[in-house]
Amino acid sequence: MKTIGQSLSSYRVIGVKPGFNLPEENNVSAFKVITESSFPGKWKIFYFYPKDFTFVCPTEISEYNKLVKDFNERNAILLGGSSDNEFVKLAWRPENSNLYKLNHWQFSDTNGSLIDQLGIRHETGVALRATFIFDPQNIIQHITVNNLNVGRNPIETLRILDAIQTGKLCACNRTLNGKTL
């Protein structure tokens, strides 16, 4: 397992763009390859969950989704994914009202290029519930790994990002849901 202070090696996952529910909308593809070079200069929050169409995952995803503006204000890209493919992710969005027109990235890691590199594959083959915060240089600054049945608190992820950035940068006038902290 990679740990704090280590960099990501190369990886390739298929991203599902925010706001899409179909593979193509208005002649624009819902999919984009995401690599270690994607989102230059941005903090990256990768959160993994075991499978799409499960009962705990939509609650976490929708709670993360409520905080997208807050993550954006902190120069961070939010990406949630599993080992299911990109078409499953799109099929799930219209089936669950909390995921409809999701406004942050999802990703499909069917080949395990991130799951295995980060050492978070459960013995059943799926990803553990893991959260990683990477700085703009792709260096791991935070890791949380839970078992399959233990959900997360996305506000805690935001709090941790604030703490990390405060240590690295001046984190003045932080906001949460539009309110100054």
Q: Which residues are catalytic?
A: 57
The torsion defined by the Cα of 87, 89, 91 and 96, in degrees rounded to 10, comes to 180
Nearest to 92 by CA among 54, 45, 130: 54
Q: Residue 172: helix, strand or coil by DSSP?
A: coil
Tokens of 52: 């799409």
Alpha-carbon span 14 to 160, nearest angstrom: 27
